[in-house]
Structure formats: structure tokens, C-alpha cells
Structure 1
Amino acid sequence: MELTVALDQPWADPTLPAKVKALAYPALVGHLDRGRRVWINVSALARGLGTGGYALVIAPADGQPVDPPPSPGHLVKARYTPLQAMVLGVDDQESEHHDTMRDADDLEGLPVVVADLHSALPAIVAGARLEAERAGRPAPDVAYVMTDGGALPAWFSRAVAGLRDAGWISTCITAGQAFGGDLEAVSVHTALLAARHVAHADLAVVVQGPGNLGTGTRWGFSGVAAGEAINATSILRGRPIASLRVSGADPRERHVGISHHSTTAYGKVALAPADVVVPVFDPADPILGPLGARVKEQAAALVEPTGRHRLVEVAAGSDVRRALTTSPVRLSTMGRGLDQDPSAFLAAAVAGVHAASLL
């Protein structure tokens, strides 16, 4: 639920508003009627850090939510926090899928696209759908595996909701401490196995939820888990595909061309080889042309013979850009849209193109 909350205690900074946008998750805090008093957490909002600029409702201030009905499952997500959630995991002993999951240990070549930022998700799926259309095949059945590097509740993601409503993704699987998906999983490994053997997806996309923690250091960022997702995919005999984080508009030098987040996650953390998909931009384009040359040079450190990964070059032409404009959800990365930073979305889309070409 999206709320407007009038504060009854002033901010330390008098320039901050007396009314704020807030989010409440009814599954955790109950349904809230207009006029009810609530406790809210404004810490990230006060620092300007909150993804989407929201305060978060902790609890009603004048009572307590109704207890949820008894249900099976013993997986606890957001463990040992005041709002920890008890869920039924796809790999739980009480799950109808437990027998399938107990014996599952092979993805059977399932293409798995791994990305750093949540904003890559709709672009990857757009690319996969374009490739299926080119080949005269139905759009692929896509499972999204949401890791816990960003937002923990899947409910926070407008992209997931919009992609589900449009049929662009069929299943959201929340792994680790993340929760609220169609299926809950203990780990990225069981989430991927559930994508293959329970959701019967054609391909999977692994990326953290909305929000991204970075510190400007080589190792201190939440997207480092992308390298571990490559390893998990390989261990389970899937087909790991690395989607590069690329930008031509980021003011920070470390993120121009291929971000240092990608070079660390795929170049240092990923110990198993993956397909590194490099976008090929039109060399005549005055902006994307020079950027493409830089990206190709940077990617050389990740792929054979220098690195361990396989180079896959995919044209990021006008048809890919047109496919991106069909996205049912808004394309936005670090506050920039398709027109402001097309390379970011084109680089993600071509990873989806390549994944669908393997089907």
C-alpha cells in the first residue's frame, strides 16, 4: 500500500516535508485505513538514500495487525529482524514440490542471465522476446530469481509487478533473505532449480531487487553476488550468461563503459566460465560508436585468451532499441532512461537476445 503520512514530529532538517510518501506491506503490518496512526522508519529517506523516496511503515501505532492465518512452511526471511516473515519454501519439507527439489541438482543447460542492477531485468526480457520473434518462436517463459542484495520484499518492485501483469515473466522466485515471490527459496541454487523443475521456465534471469549498495571500492558493493550466481549456474550445469553493466552517461569514471562492478564480479568472483555478451554498437553513431570501442577493449580482460570467459558479440542495433521501447514498465537506471543512457539498456538487452538464441 502506498500512503501519504503527515508527520507529528518535526525533522531535524526543517527543509524536509511535513508529509511523506510511505509504503506499507499488509502481509507484515496489516491493512491500514485512512486516518490511522502509524510508526514509520524515515532513516534512508532523511539521508536521501531511499530507492523511490519512501518512508516505510513499521507498525500501526494504535494497536497490532491481525495474526495471519496458520500456514505451512518454516522458512524465515529477513531473519531476526522485527518484521521477519515466515514463508513456505519451494524446498521446504512441507512443500508440495519437496520431492522434486530433494532430488534436483541439474539445470539441464537452462540459460541463466546474470546482471548487477535490477533495472536490467526488463531490458533482458525485451531482448529475449525479440530474438524469439525473429526465430518465429513463441516468447520464452522467463523466471526471475530475485537475490537479496537490494530490496528484500519482491512487493517493492514495480518492474516485477508490471512484467508479471504483461506476461513478460511468468514466475518470481525470491532467494536468500528476499521474500514475497511466487516461490520462495533458501538459496540461489534452489531458486534456479525451482525455475527449471517447478516453474519449467525456458530461461532464468538472476539479479538483485531494487536498490544497489556501493561504496566506491573494488569489493564493497552488493552486485558482487553476480559472480556467485555465475558459479551457482555452472555448478548446476546451466548455461551462465553475464550481462554487462554499461553506461555512457554515468558521471563516475569507474562506471563509464563497462562498470568496475562487472569487471570485479565476473573477472574476480566468477570462477566458472560464462558467455560474456558484448554489445556491438553502430560505429557511425557519434556517441555509441566510441563507447562501443571502449567496451570491447574493456571486455578483453574478461574473455579468452586473457580471461576465463567466452566472448559473445551481439549487434545492438535499431531493432534492439525498438524492442526496448515496447517494455510494459518504465526503463530507468540510476535515474536515467533509455534516451539518456541507451547503452545501459542495450547491453542488457543483447544478453537476453543471446540467451534466447540458445533455446
Structure 2
Amino acid sequence: MILWRKGLVVNVLEERSGMQVLQVQTDRLMHPAEGGTIVHGEVSVRAVHYTDVLPKAAPGDEVMLNGTASVMGLGTGGVDFVAGFCGISEGKQLSVPVKLPDDPREAGHLMKLRYTPLQRAVVSVEAPESPHHGLFQEPLSLCGTPVLIGELHSMLPAAVCRIRQQQPGASVAYVMTDGGALPAAFSRHIAALRGLGWLRGTVTCGHAYGGDLEALNKFTALLAAKHVLGADIIIAAMGPGIAGTGTEFGHTGMETAELIHAAAALGGQPVLMPRLSGGDSRARHQGVSHHLRTVLTKAALAPAAVPLPGGLAPQEQQRLAQELGAAGQPHVRHAFPRMPHIAQEEIRLSQADYPIAVTTMDRGLADDPIFFEAVCASADYALSRLP
């Protein structure tokens, strides 16, 4: 099901490489449960417009919006997206000029978003047309590189800020999986971290696209981060957003088990950043998220280090140990190093020069300090594993 509506661009609110955020006057589209009624010209909405395949929008343009997730009130994907132009302002070309190479394969012969109207050709890092193709024909490993694995995109900036604070010379690359947003352009954090020079680069894998390098899968993405981007530490996590159903296995966070397997199989050191919370209103995510428990007890078949923060009261430490079963049989393959306490002020200072407020599920450091301490403790552990 897709809920479509037309709208008129009123203003360009934000613009960065590959995307615009627009203010659009549009029809009010009611939820299907309310009868699916369309009331014309009633609301002003924020809409994301990707400019890699369509021209930039300007006030006066008439656009077609995919309003499915926003009308349904969803968190993941919960904004309007421009799907195309219905009418354009005077003197504007609707098509994006494209210069085709003499050999079409130079543009890449591998498709992402395959078999959809938006499928796109990419030069995948391991493909024959890539300058790095020869590298991937050689035996490769991660050579013991720590791989910081996260479930949520918000873990990326928190970890990078901490690494920079503790060891500014460490080279960090980001592998963006396809468990959340697919376009790298949607992430404000990628743009900010690359602009600051705090990330060596981004590899988008699976059907995620738009990174500095494209890769077909998690394995080649990790190898590209190491051998093409030259990472000392690799951070692997999905883009913004996570999809879930409130059931044991029904969430895209299950991919963290796959990342543990890939990092271990390639000779890296998997370090899982634990999703802990003292501020989440949902019981299943309080303390140790049920996502993390499922991954550790039932899905991750290779061992990983799961660093635990030291800033916990004794009763909280006991609860954490009980929920993780750190001494129990289901977790015998994993290690749970207890890290020194990191004060909130120290975490705040690590993010002081970062231009975007780092939040997780709309909660900042003051709202959920244990989440941020767990990420920073994991970053410290990864740094301790460098040669």
C-alpha cells in the first residue's frame, strides 16, 4: 500500500549533498482506518527530496508525495518523500542531464534497489569495473581490526566523538547496512562527520547506497573499509531508523548477529555496542533491550566482546548481569568486559565540537546516560584492542 498526495513546494528548509528538505503545502490524507479521505490543501508538511536522480526543487514546483509512513504516524520512514514532479516552475528542466560513458559498464553494472522503478547502477567496490577489483581477487582478512557493531544509527556519532576524544589519530570508517534508511544522503551524521574529517569514509552495502564506496554485502564492505579506506577501527551499523514488530525476532536489529559472524569470519574483532537504556518508556527496551538479548542468546554463533559500562549502582549492575546472563550457559561464547565509569561531563565534552545534538529515540545524554556510556565504553574497548 502506498498513500499518494500532491503538494506545492513553499520553501526549501535544508539542503545538503544529495537531498533537500522542503516545506510543502499539501492535501490532508486521512489514515485508512478513518476512511482514507483526502481533504484538499489543508496542511503544510516537511518532505524529503533526493537530488541524485531528480533536479532540485524550488518554490512553485508541484510535486507528488509518498505520504504512507507519515500518515500512519510511524517513526521509521515517518516523513513525506518526493516521488516526482507534477509541474515545475518556469524555465526549469525536469530531467537531470546525464553524460553516459562510452562503455556503460563504467557507470557500474550492479543494481541496488533491484527490480524496482528506482533501481540504480553502482560501481561496486569488488566489481570488474572498479579500480579495486584486483584487490578483491586476493586473499583478504581484517587483520585483527576491531569492528564496533551497533544496532542504532545514533551509536555512530557517539562512538566517533569518543574515539576522537581519546585517540584523535585513529582512522575510523563506517559501514552502513540496509536495516534502516537506504540512502546515505538521509543521514545528517554522515554528512557532519565527513565534513569534519572525523570519518575516513562510508561504505554502503546491500541495498543501502550513496556512500563513498558501494559494496554488495557485509563481508566485502568490511574488507573495503579496512583495505581501501585504511580504517584502524570500523563502525558497522544501519542507517537512520530501525524497523520492529515488538516480537522476539521481528526487527532489523537482528543484522547485528550477521555482522558479528562476518567480522569474526574475516579475522576481525567483533565488539558489540550494547543497547542499554534507563529512559526508554517501553518495558522491552528498559535495561538490556530485548533485541540485544535475542541476538546474544539465540542468533550470534560467533563470540563477540560486549563491553559493559561501569557507571551503574550495585542493584543496576545485578539487574544487568541477570538480564544478560553473563555467567550463564547461553552466553558462554561471549565476553563481557567491565569498563571503567565514564562521567556524563566527559561524554558531553567529547561531543562539544560536534555540530548536531546526538540523541537516541529523541533522548539526549541527560535523559539516558547509560545508553551513551555503553557506547563510549565500547569505543574505549575497541581502542584498547588496537596494536
TM-score (norm 2): 0.84
**Pair 279,33 (structure 1): closer, same or farther in 2 beyond 3 Å:** same
Q: Which residue of 2 aligns with 1:207?
A: 237
Question: What does the per-residue CA deviation read over 1:241-292, in whole Å, with 9 as the maximum and x for residues that have no partner?
Answer: 0110000011222111110111112322111111111111153xxxxx6434
Aligned-residue offset at 1:50? 4.6
Look up the equivalent residue of 1:329 and give its one-letter code: I
Q: Which residue of 2 aligns with 1:357?
A: 384
Distance in 2, Cα, partners of 1:297 & 1:219: 21
Q: Which residue of 1 aligns with 2:221?
A: 191
Distance in 1, Cα, partners of 2:194 & 2:384: 22
User: Following superposition of structure 1 onto structure 2, how do residues 1-359 of structure 1 map, counting pairs within 5 Å?
Assistant: 1-8=20-27, 11=30, 12=37, 18-51=43-76, 53-62=78-87, 64-70=94-100, 71-132=106-167, 138-283=168-313, 290-301=315-326, 306-318=331-343, 320-326=346-352, 327-359=354-386
Distance in 2, Cα, partners of 1:48 & 1:215: 15
**Pair 242,303 (structure 1): closer, same or farther in 2 beyond 3 Å:** farther
Q: Is residue 267–residue 307 contact of structure 1 (8 Å, CA) maintained in 2?
A: no
Look up the equivalent residue of 2:356 and give its one-letter code: V
Q: Which runs of 5+ in 2 are unaligned?
A: 1-19, 31-36, 89-93, 101-105
Question: What does the per-residue CA deviation read over 1:12-52, in whole Å, with 9 as the maximum and x for residues that have no partner?
Answer: 37699611111111112222232111111000010111548
Larger radius of gyration: 2
**More deviation in 174-183 or 74-83?**
74-83
Distance in 1, Cα, partners of 2:220 & 2:305: 22
Distance in 1, Cα, partners of 2:170 & 2:53: 34
Distance in 2, Cα, partners of 1:28 & 1:219: 35
Q: Kindly report the root-mean-square deviation, in angstroms, between the aligned alpha carbons of the 2 structures.
A: 2.3
**Pair 309,335 (structure 1): closer, same or farther in 2 beyond 3 Å:** same
Distance in 1, Cα, partners of 2:224 & 2:139: 9
Question: What does the per-residue CA deviation read over 1:143-191, in whole Å, with 9 as the maximum and x for residues that have no partner?
Answer: 1100000000000011111111122212111010000101000001000
**Pair 312,15 (structure 1): closer, same or farther in 2 beyond 3 Å:** farther
Distance in 1, Cα, partners of 2:154 & 2:118: 26
Distance in 1, Cα, partners of 2:96 & 2:200: 31
Question: What does the per-residue CA deviation read over 1:275-310, in whole Å, with 9 as the maximum and x for residues that have no partner?
Answer: 111111153xxxxx6434322332334877842111
Tell me the SS of whatever aligns to 2:127.
coil
Aligned-residue offset at 1:126? 2.4
Aligned-residue offset at 1:74? 1.4
**Pair 341,189 (structure 1): closer, same or farther in 2 beyond 3 Å:** same
Q: Which runs of 5+ in 1 are unaligned?
A: 133-137, 284-288
Look up the equivalent residue of 1:216 and give its one-letter code: G
Aligned residues: 349
Q: Is residue 21–residue 53 contact of structure 1 (8 Å, CA) maintained in 2?
A: no
Percent identity over the alignment? 40
Distance in 2, Cα, partners of 1:55 & 1:305: 43
Q: Which residue of 1 aligns with 2:7?
A: none
Distance in 1, Cα, partners of 2:328 & 2:304: 9
Q: Is residue 27–residue 41 contact of structure 2 (8 Å, CA) maintained in 1?
A: no
Tell me the SS of whatever aligns to 2:58.
coil
Distance in 2, Cα, partners of 1:294 & 1:9: 47
Look up the equivalent residue of 1:33 and give its one-letter code: A
Distance in 1, Cα, partners of 2:72 & 2:181: 17
Distance in 2, Cα, partners of 1:344 & 1:291: 13
Distance in 2, Cα, partners of 1:333 & 1:339: 11
Q: Is residue 230–residue 240 contact of structure 1 (8 Å, CA) maintained in 2?
A: yes
Q: Which residue of 2 aligns with 1:286?
A: none
**More deviation in 123-132 or 188-197?**
123-132
**Pair 305,2 (structure 1): closer, same or farther in 2 beyond 3 Å:** closer
Aligned-residue offset at 1:2? 1.0
Distance in 1, Cα, partners of 2:188 & 2:328: 35
Look up the equivalent residue of 1:86 and give its one-letter code: A
